[in-house]
């Protein structure tokens, strides 16, 4: 069976199938359809959907709901992420599992509300004080909007961290025909909880990369939650050992599990001297460009990155092996290209294929920049 669907509907369906029972958000083009779908669908399953008074309140509602046992989603665009950022930092500090959909549009500031872009790639990773890691996934099409939304919920529960889904106006708003049986049923784990009868130490971990269990809502435990540096019991502290232990834990629980988070798609051609790297919307043009180049007699490999942060360095280095030049296609001025440049050898050339004029990158743009015509 086939259906005619857009990315917003696919994201909502993925969230509901992942067990999402709470949504809060504020209208903003082009993320508003996700809000409207959630307001319509969540009451049908006894969930809660709130149109908050603004973006700051939206994230506050989401944090509160997640800490009381809900599985939480919110959606916005670049200007909204700006307003979310303080509470995203709170969610990182408090180790709150939640999923944030960023439907990217052209910036800066209000930019082009109905113009697609990929300009928030570095912002999602570094837009909060402290520089502590989050997870960012990026779908390339409607089917992946569904599967990566489910994966985002799974990772949020696994690592107790905000997980972004970095999509864009075109993917969310453009309808396409898909085969319903092709939706990938990504498993979503249950929340890890401390037994009601057990001693509960809110942030205790035996090793820095471990993730502490949460307390079941309504149980007998005392739960302390703060935006400030705290010890394992949740008390504010300036003790250097406690502060360092906390901060190293917030990094280690993500960075020491990159292989578990990494999701890429590679097509490595024997003898290829050119590698095309892409993510999100531009991956469609990149894959078509590779096919056209091969038809013209050029050996070209491709790497599509679905897990943008943390950077899947091992997978990128493996794809770089043996190539002479790397084309990085993205709708910004080279934000993820910076991560590729860190990993190449001195004898490898990195070439950016970028547009910031409101138009999409075409296969021809990539072929021309890579001299593959």
Half-sphere exposure of 258 (CA within 13 A, CB side): 14
Mean of pLDDT values over 12-39: 98
pLDDT in tens, 101-113: 999 999 999 999 9
Task: Provide the pLDDT confidence category of residue 1 given band limits of 50, 70 and 90.
Answer: confident
What mean pLDDT is reported for the chain? Answer: 97
Helix-helix angle 55-67:78-94, to 10 degrees: 30
- Cβ-based neighbour number of residue 369 at 10 Å: 18
Q: Does pTM top 0.95 for this prediction?
A: yes
Kindly state the percentage of the chain with pLDDT values over 90.
97
CA angle 338, 340, 342 (to 5 degrees): 75
Question: Domains along the chain?
Answer: 2-182 (3.40.50.970), 263-369 (3.40.50.920)
| Residue range 226-283, pLDDT digits in tens | 999 999 999 999 999 999 999 999 999 999 999 999 999 999 999 999 999 999 999 9
Tens of pLDDT, residue by residue over 132-175, are 999 999 999 999 999 999 999 999 999 999 999 999 999 999 99
For 233-261, the DSSP string reads: TS-B---HHHHHHHHHHHHHHHHTTHHHH
169 backbone dihedrals φ, ψ, rounded to 5°: -60, -45
pLDDT in tens, 317-363: 999 999 999 999 999 999 999 999 999 999 999 999 999 999 999 99
The token pair that represents 16 in the structure block? 């509901």
């Amino acid at each position: 069976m086939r259906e005619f669907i857009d990315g917003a509907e696919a994201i909502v369906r993925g969230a509901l199938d992942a067990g999402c029972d709470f949504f809060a958000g504020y209208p903003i083009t082009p993320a508003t359809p996700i809000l409207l779908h959630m307001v319509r669908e969540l009451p049908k399953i006894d969930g809660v959907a709130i149109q908050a008074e603004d973006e700051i309140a939206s994230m506050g509602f989401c944090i509160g709901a997640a800490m009381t046992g809900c599985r939480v989603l919110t959606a916005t665009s670049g200007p909204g992420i700006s307003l979310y950022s303080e509470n995203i930092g709170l969610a990182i500090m408090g180790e709150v599992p939640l999923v944030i959909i960023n439907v990217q549009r052209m910036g800066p500031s209000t930019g082009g509300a109905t113009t697609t872009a990929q300009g928030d790639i570095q912002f999602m990773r570094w837009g909060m004080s402290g520089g502590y890691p989050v997870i960012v996934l990026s779908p390339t099409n409607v089917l992946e909007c569904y599967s990566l939304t489910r994966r985002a919920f799974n990772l949020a529960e696994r690592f107790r961290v905000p997980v972004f889904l970095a999509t864009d106006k075109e993917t969310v708003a453009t309808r396409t025909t898909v085969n319903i049986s092709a939706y990938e049923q990504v498993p979503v784990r249950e929340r890890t909880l401390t037994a009601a009868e057990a001693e509960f130490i809110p942030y205790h971990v035996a090793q820095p990369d471990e993730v502490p269990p949460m307390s079941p809502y309504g149980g007998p435990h005392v739960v302390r939650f703060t935006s400030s540096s705290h010890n394992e019991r949740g008390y504010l502290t300036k003790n250097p050992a406690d502060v360092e232990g906390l901060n190293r834990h917030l990094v280690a629980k993500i960075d020491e599990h990159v292989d578990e988070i990494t999701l890429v798609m590679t097509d490595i051609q024997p003898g290829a001297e050119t590698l095309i790297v892409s993510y999100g919307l531009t991956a469609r043009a990149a894959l078509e460009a590779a096919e056209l180049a091969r038809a013209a007699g050029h050996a070209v490999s491709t790497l599509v990155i679905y897990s943008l942060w943390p950077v899947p360095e091992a997978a990128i280095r493996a794809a770089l092996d043996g190539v002479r030049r790397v084309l990085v296609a993205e709708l910004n001025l080279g934000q993820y290209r910076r991560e590729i440049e860190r990993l190449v050898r001195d004898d490898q050339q990195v070439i950016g294929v970028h547009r910031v004029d409101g138009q999409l990158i075409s296969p021809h743009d990539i072929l021309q920049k890579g001299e593959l015509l």
